[in-house]
Structure 1
Amino acid sequence: MAIDRDSNGDALDLSAIQLAANSAAEAASQVLLSRFRPGVNEELSIVYKSPNALVTDADLAADKAITESLRHAGASGRILSEESQTMISASESESELTWLVDPLCGTVPFSTGMDHWGVNIALRRGGELLAASLPLPSLGETLSASRGGGVLRNGSSFTTSSPREKLSESTVGLEVDGPDEWRARLSSGLEWIPHVSQVNTFASAAYPTALVCLGRLPAAVFYGIEPVHFAAGAMIASELGVSVTDEKGNEIDWSKDEELDVVVFGWQEIHAQLIDVMSD
């Protein structure tokens, strides 16, 4: 049994937490797969929360499935989701626990029948990540991790390494949040791109973070991103030796929920090269 302790010395069963995260991720995955590609998703109900912020009934159903699964598992703390906020326990000893959730990360590709989407579930205590589950349901891939416990891929112990050693030979993921962010970045901020071989963009954070952790992409850069979109990937990355920082190489402050201007995921050698060219 993996045990961690909070600031009051109270024990947290990381094995039980990981099981709760995995069960919630599986519940969301099943809900999403049942709605994926029926006549290229012609039956999806689609609305816009705000300009360029698409949400479907699949997002909301997956969000509900995660909340119900965590409650059923007896999980503690609050849920901070892309789609909702829910308190599942209110005791003082559990007030530092927050589940960071994006029930469908990649709504646009999901709604058009592409595979570039996933589910993000991570547990944060104060300013540290404790456990995470990150499935890519349509591809049959699930990564999970708990602090100090290593990474599992589809339930089996997993390690890997960067597919490239030189930035100039690397394909790097690039995610920019909406047209306003694109307009700002196209005028200044993307000068690093000529230093890489290719860039790919997926309209998802879960998908490229999983690809980095699976050793298929050496790095990915995100502009205008909230913690719910990448906390799960960051938890898994930390157990694999993948660096997750801002554009200056500073560690992420996990005690905050605000949007971050830039987040850089990368295997250490590529990450260092990428930070260098971003700083020029």
Structure 2
Amino acid sequence: MIDSLVNPTDAEVAAAAALAGAEVVRARYGRLHSRIDKGSGDFATDADLAAEEAILDVIRAARPGDAVHGEEGGRRGAVGAEREWLVDPLCGTLNYTSGAQLVAVNVALRNGPAAVADPFSGEVFLTDGETAWVRSAAEDGGQRLAPTADTRLVDVNLDPPFPGAPGFRAVDLLAHPGFVDNFRPRVVSTSLALAWVAAGRRAAYVTDGGDLSGSVHYAAGIALCRAAGCVVTGVEGHPVGPGGRGLVVAADARTHELLMSMIGGRPGSD
């Protein structure tokens, strides 16, 4: 795809790279995969590694002077490079190895354009940093993302560890009476859910953690949601970034306020 473009934009590079990784993930689905243990129950597979290499090939060809920070290979490229791409080649590895098709391929230029590809739907969600849209493999243009809380579905990341405990634990949010009255929980265990918030398929997404703004797992989804007009903060209501913690991403201000009142933080937006 990238070879056919003359002077591709960063958003086009992100989309082409994410789709290249998604093609590898889709092609290797259903196989018996070798595993690389990362400790604490986390692991990568040969599919993660191969997808990351496919992504790097696209970025290197289009942006040879940029650095790339991949989840599996770490930081590569020129030491003094001013621009850095954040790559998660297979978000949802446990889902993938169990046969579930709930995974994402995330590619983001730090503080810039980004893309999230769904290997099995064929969709790629992308942003140039100002607007966000989604297109299928058969489309050249795409459709603007329009967040809405109409589904009332909230994805909550329940993966350990729980760094915010005892002050905040996502599992406690699900038992809050206000949550039951207003929302319905979903747990897909992949940052694909962030793209779904931007697209109006989810009302919100909640996860604990540290500063996730530069995370290979979350940077692309955060960029999408911001460009689409979602409310994006940490679990304490502060802007996402240094000193912030976790994510509360909501389709609109009312949904964000409701979730923050249950979490116990202060409503806010970034």
Which residue of structure 2 lines up, in the alignment, with residue 48 of structure 1?
A: 37
Which residue of structure 2 lines up, in the alignment, with residue 276 of structure 1?
A: 261
Which residue of structure 2 lines up, in the alignment, with residue 24 of structure 1?
A: 17
Structure 1 residues 192, 79: closer, same or farther in 2, change over 3 A? same
Which residue of structure 2 lines up, in the alignment, with residue 181 of structure 1?
A: 162
1:158 aligns with 2:144: yes
- Decide whether the 8 Å contact of 2:21 with 2:105 is kept in 1: yes
> In structure 2, what is the Cα distance between the partners aligned to 1:101 and 1:185?
29
**TM-score calculated relative to the size of structure 1:** 0.79
> In structure 1, what is the Cα distance between the partners aligned to 2:209 and 2:158?
7
The one-letter amino acid of 1:148's match is: E
Structure showing the higher strand proportion among its residues:
1
> In structure 2, what is the Cα distance between the partners aligned to 1:115 and 1:185?
30
Which residue of structure 2 lines up, in the alignment, with residue 4 of structure 1?
A: none
Which residue of structure 2 lines up, in the alignment, with residue 232 of structure 1?
A: 220
- Offset of residue 198 of structure 1: 2.2
Number of aligned residue pairs: give it.
Answer: 245
Which residue of structure 1 lines up, in the alignment, with residue 153 of structure 2?
A: 171
The one-letter amino acid of 2:248's match is: V
Which residue of structure 2 lines up, in the alignment, with residue 138 of structure 1?
A: 120
- Offset of residue 261 of structure 1: 4.0
Alignment root-mean-square deviation, CA: 2.4
- Offset of residue 116 of structure 1: 1.0
1:241 aligns with 2:229: yes
Partner residue of 2:106 out of 107, 115, 120: 120
- Offset of residue 21 of structure 1: 1.0
Helix, strand or coil: the match of 1:115?
Answer: coil
- Offset of residue 90 of structure 1: 4.6
Q: Per-residue displacement from partner, 1:116-136 (whole Å, max 9, x unpaired)? A: 101011001xxxx21001011
- Decide whether the 8 Å contact of 2:114 with 2:129 is kept in 1: no
Q: Per-residue displacement from partner, 1:133-187 (whole Å, max 9, x unpaired)? A: 10111122210011224434334131323133xxxx8321111332x429x7588
Which residue of structure 2 lines up, in the alignment, with residue 203 of structure 1?
A: 189
Q: Per-residue displacement from partner, 1:211-252 (whole Å, max 9, x unpaired)? A: 111211100101236421111111111111112210122111
1:265 aligns with 2:253: no
Which residue of structure 2 lines up, in the alignment, with residue 101 of structure 1?
A: 87
Structure 1 residues 186, 113: closer, same or farther in 2, change over 3 A? farther
Which residue of structure 1 lines up, in the alignment, with residue 3 of structure 2?
A: none
Partner residue of 2:173 out of 167, 192, 213: 192
- Decide whether the 8 Å contact of 1:176 with 1:224 is kept in 2: no
- Offset of residue 65 of structure 1: 1.0
> In structure 2, what is the Cα distance between the partners aligned to 1:150 and 1:174?
23
- Decide whether the 8 Å contact of 2:123 with 2:134 is kept in 1: no
Percent of residue pairs bearing the same amino acid type: 26
- Decide whether the 8 Å contact of 2:168 with 2:263 is kept in 1: no
- Offset of residue 24 of structure 1: 0.9
Structure 1 residues 241, 229: closer, same or farther in 2, change over 3 A? same
**TM-score calculated relative to the size of structure 2:** 0.82
- Offset of residue 114 of structure 1: 0.7
> In structure 1, what is the Cα distance between the partners aligned to 2:131 and 2:153?
29
- Unaligned regions of 5+ residues in structure 1, if any? 1-13
Which residue of structure 1 lines up, in the alignment, with residue 62 of structure 2?
A: 73
Structure 1 residues 243, 188: closer, same or farther in 2, change over 3 A? closer
The one-letter amino acid of 1:50's match is: G
